[in-house]
Amino acid sequence: MLKKLFGSKSNNEKSSPKNEASKAALKSTSTGENRSARSSSRSGAQKKPRSKPSVKAWSPSDFVVPVVEGKTRFHDLGLSDELLHGIADLGFEYCSPIQAQSLPFSLQGHDVVGKAQTGTGKTAAFLITVITDLLRNPIKEERYAGEARALIIAPTRELVMQIADDARALTKYTGLGVHTLVGGLDYDKQLKKLENEYVDILVATPGRLLDFVSNRHIYLDECETLVIDEADRMLDMGFIPQVRRIIHATPKKDSRQTLLFSATFTFDVLNLAEQWTTNPHRVEIEPESVATDSVEQHVYMCSTEEKFDVLYNLVKQPEVNTVIIFANRKDTTHRLYDRLKAHGFDVGVLSGDVAQAKRVKTLEKLKAGHLKILVATDVAGRGIHVDGITHVVNYTLPEEAEDYVHRIGRTGRAGTTGVSVSFACEDDAFLLPNIEQLLGTKLKCEQPPELLLEKAPYVKVESKSAARPRRNMGRRR
């Protein structure tokens, strides 16, 4: 069935009706009077498209993947050699469940609504679709600065940067340009890149994207594919009014392809999907395998006063190589950062009040192995996709059960196993039942081992990481 769907297209193979209508509508707005009328209000035509890198000859025969019953190879999807080359470089051979269930539909132009946790491969699923569409439908006529062909919206800056990194890896041999728009980084630098390179794939947070749209530096009326990632998180963070404005600036839903992904299918998420998609194919990947199969979970019953002692002794253990510590509040993360740093640990901090440039550098240090410990809030930690995290610590249990699954999913990735340790004190132990209900299993609560209860040595802590109030610089025009 998969070979039939993804083999070379024959002359009598029928494309998706929506896909043909979409392409016709988009082409009609890309040429002729409509485009000519708009050209006066936009920057001049760009002269130099991004060139493809010069590499030695490569063919799919260099990427040998055996046929395995029950598994879908990327070879079977009818992908371009350039894209398959990028996939081969990343070491991917077989599709994950979300990829195998969504790509047969999305690659034919159908809308997809997917339920999947972070770490299931959904990013590659929608990126492969986006890249394939752009390669199959190249624009040969004149293009203008700031016209995005594909738009991916994500709720956090870290997640945007991670998606963009993955997109650049997959587009390595295609000549397609990937742009990011996030708050906290220099507006003018982001603008300069938009003016100098085609906007093939744009990955953005809602607020900064609307700034560029309002200032007429980005135009979305040529957008062919729209991806909305982590729709449930968008709802939680209050971004939906902004997302509605963004969608209103794109072509109508029957003239674009829309891919929507969410960790949960709440009534509100499904309602949004109905409004923004057309006859979508629905895919549901259950989170239990992500949360339990590759992660050894421990819940330590300890008082608030004992937490830091247990944490200090835990991170000193030889088997703890790289650890992420999650807390619910920004002030808690900063206090933990200061105390751990005072004890001599290589530690970084990610929270919403840390400048974006510093957050990027912190993630780079973590990926390079220069940090042993990262302390983060849920919002800042949403885009952390780093292999080699051996332990995750829930210094405070999350108020939303889904965040527990997300947190411990930072370890046990890429076929490895990991360990999560959660502290259940008198203040947050009541959050455990909701987490257990989501996981579908009982979490064993235990006393910390004696060696973890030893008192941490006293050191004087100088607080340097506390957030300072920002000056009101006014809105950039």
Confidence (pLDDT) at 51: 62
Confidence (pLDDT) at 117: 74
Which regions of 5-121 does DSSP assign to beta strands (E)? 112-115
Nearest to 283 by CA among 72, 440, 103: 103
Give the integer Cα–Cα distance in Å for 145 and 199.
Answer: 8
The residue ranges of every structural domain in the chain are 2-7+18-285, 289-452
Take residue 38 and report the two structure tokens written for it.
């708009």
Residue labelled with tokens 């300069």: 192
Query: Cβ–Cβ contacts within 10 Å for residue 140, how many?
Result: 7
**Residue 179: strand pairing partners:** 202
Model pTM score: 0.68
Is the torsion defined by CA of 17, 21, 22, 27 positive or negative? Answer: positive
Give the helix ranges, DSSP H, for 140-230. 157-170, 187-196, 206-214
Give the integer Cα–Cα distance in Å for 349 and 338.
Answer: 9
Per-residue tens of pLDDT for the chain, all 477 residues: 332 222 333 333 334 445 444 444 443 344 334 444 444 456 555 445 666 665 568 888 888 888 898 899 999 999 999 999 999 999 899 999 999 999 999 999 999 999 987 778 899 999 999 999 999 999 888 888 899 999 999 998 888 998 999 999 999 999 999 999 998 888 999 999 998 999 999 999 999 999 999 999 999 999 999 999 999 889 878 899 999 999 999 999 999 999 999 988 889 999 999 999 999 999 998 754 445 578 899 999 999 999 999 999 999 999 999 999 999 999 999 999 999 999 999 999 988 788 777 888 888 898 888 999 999 998 655 667 787 899 999 999 998 887 888 888 888 876 678 999 999 988 888 899 989 888 888 888 999 999 999 999 989 887 665 444 444 434 333
Confidence (pLDDT) at 263: 82
Tell me the CATH number for domain 289-452: 3.40.50.300
Give the integer Cα–Cα distance in Å for 113 and 346.
Answer: 41
What is the residue type of 260? L
Give the integer Cα–Cα distance in Å for 262 and 265.
Answer: 7
Residues in Cβ contact with 240 at an 8 Å cutoff, skipping those fewer than 6 apart: 234, 272
Give the integer Cα–Cα distance in Å for 122 and 428.
Answer: 32
Is the torsion defined by CA of 213, 352, 399, 284 positive or negative? Answer: positive
Judge if 2-7+18-285 and 289-452 fold alike in CATH terms.
yes
Confidence (pLDDT) at 168: 96
Any idea of the CA torsion for 243, 23, 136, 32, to the nearest 10 degrees?
-100
Q: Which CATH number fits domain 2-7+18-285: 3.40.50.300, 3.40.718.10, 1.20.1740.10, 3.10.580.10?
A: 3.40.50.300
Confidence (pLDDT) at 380: 57
- Cβ atoms of 429 and 301 within 8 Å: the answer is yes
- Cβ atoms of 381 and 350 within 8 Å: the answer is yes
State whether residue 141 is helix, strand or coil: coil
Confidence (pLDDT) at 386: 81
Give the integer Cα–Cα distance in Å for 333 and 48.
Answer: 46
